[in-house]
Amino acid sequence: MRIVFMGTPEFATPSLRALLDAGYEVAAAITQPDRPAGRGHKLTPCPVKLLAQERGVPVYQFERIKSPEGVACLRELAPELCVTAAFGQILSQEILDIPRYGTVNVHASLLPKYRGSAPINWCILNGEKTAGVTTMLTDAGMDTGDVLLRAETPIGELETAGELTARLAEIGANLLLETLERYPHGDLQPTPQDERQASYQPMLTKEMGHVDWTRPAGEIANQVRGLNPWPCAYADFEGGRLKLYLARACEARGEAEPGTVAASGAKEGLFVACGQGWLEILELQAPGAKRMSAKAYLLGKKIEVGTRFG
C-alpha cells in the first residue's frame, strides 16, 4: 500500500518509524516548513523531516497543504492512504478525497474527549487519571472523524506532559500498525463519535503558566505537570520568575497564607501553602540558576519560611 505520511513534531516520529520498519511503502513525508528556533532563531527542520531524510523518504513542506500547490503535489504522489500524526493543519475535503482508503489520523486522546491541539496537556491539567490514543478516519472537521481503534493507559502520579507525550507516541505507533493491518481489509468498522461526549480545549499560552496560590494544591500540581515542558508553570520570585517543573500536593501541616513558604530545608524540601493543602515543589529553576531539584537548590540558597511567592 502506497502511503503519504503527514506529521511534524516528535510525537509523530514513532508512527513514521513504525511504518518504515514494518515495510510499508511511504512515498513521501509532508511536514510544516522549517521554523526559527534557539537563541539565534536559525531555521530548524522538524523531527519528522529529520527522520524522513535519515530514512531516505522524500520530504515536502507546505505552509498550507490545502493550497493549490499542496493539492497538486499530493495528487502527483498518488497515495492509496494518508496517515497523519500531529500534523498541525486541517485537511480540506479536496485533500481527503485523494487517497483511496482515506486518511488515518493518530490522535493523542480518547476521542471524542480532548479534541484540539494540546490534548495531552489538558488531560493532566484537568486531573484525569487515564489518557490514551485514538486512530480515526479524518474528515473535514477538527478531530471529528469516525473512530477505528483506541488504546488507554494510566497517567503516573508525577508524570509530566512531556513524559506522557513520549509514551503515547509509542502507544500510537503500535495502534497505527494494528489499524493498518485490519482497516484496509474490512476488519474494522469505523464508529461515529458521540458528540454529546465531545470536548474542545484551547491552545496553550505562556500566560497559563502563572500560578494562583489561592487554588487547591492538587490543581496547582496538575498545572505544573501539565505545562511541563512548555510553557512551564511559574511564580514571581526575587524580581524574576521561579519556574516550576515538578510538584505534588500534600496535606497542610500548619497554618500559612496561600503563596507563602510553609516549610523549607535541604532535607525536608520546599513547601508552599495553597488555598487548600500545601504544594511540595520537587523541581525548579530560580532566576539566574539552572534547573534542579528543590532540595539541591536549598543546599546552596536558603528560602525562609514565610517568604511570599507572587
Burial of 103 (0-12, 13-18, 19+ CB in 10 A): buried
Q: Are residue 95 and residue 41 in the same domain, yes or no? A: yes
Tell me how far apart the terminal alpha carbons of the chain are, to the nearest angstrom: 57
- Show the domain range for 216: 206-300
Taking the C-alpha atoms of residue 110 and residue 112, their distance in angstroms, rounded to an integer, is: 6
Taking the C-alpha atoms of residue 46 and residue 50, their distance in angstroms, rounded to an integer, is: 6
Beta strands in 139-225 (DSSP E): 147-154
Is 231 a domain residue? yes
Taking the C-alpha atoms of residue 40 and residue 110, their distance in angstroms, rounded to an integer, is: 38
Q: Are residue 224 and residue 114 in the same domain, yes or no? A: no
Q: Are residue 47 and residue 160 in the same domain, yes or no? A: yes
Task: Find the Cα–Cα–Cα–Cα dihedral 164, 16, 195, 187, rounded to 10°.
Answer: -120
pTM above 0.85, yes or no: yes
Q: How many domains does the chain have?
A: 2
Name every residue whose Cβ is closer than 8 Å to that of residue 88 and which is 6 or more positions away in sequence.
Answer: 8, 9, 32, 117
Q: Are residue 64 and residue 144 in the same domain, yes or no? A: yes
Q: Are residue 38 and residue 80 in the same domain, yes or no? A: yes
Beta strands in the chain (DSSP E): 2-7, 25-31, 35-37, 42-44, 59-61, 81-85, 103-107, 130-137, 147-154, 233-237, 240-250, 261-265, 269-273, 278-285, 292-293
Cα distances from 54 to residues 3, 30, 87, 303, in angstroms, run: 18, 15, 19, 48
Q: Are residue 55 and residue 110 in the same domain, yes or no? A: yes
Q: Are residue 168 and residue 148 in the same domain, yes or no? A: yes
Give the pLDDT of the chain (310 residues) as one tens digit per residue: 999 999 999 999 999 999 999 999 999 999 999 988 777 778 899 999 999 999 999 999 999 999 999 999 999 999 999 999 999 999 999 999 999 999 999 999 999 999 988 999 999 999 999 999 999 999 998 999 999 999 999 999 999 999 999 999 999 999 999 999 999 888 999 999 999 999 998 999 999 999 999 999 999 999 999 999 999 999 999 889 999 999 999 999 999 999 999 999 999 999 999 999 999 999 999 998 999 999 999 999 999 999 999 7
What does the DSSP 8-state code read for residue 70? Answer: H
Cell (9 digits) for 12 = 509523530
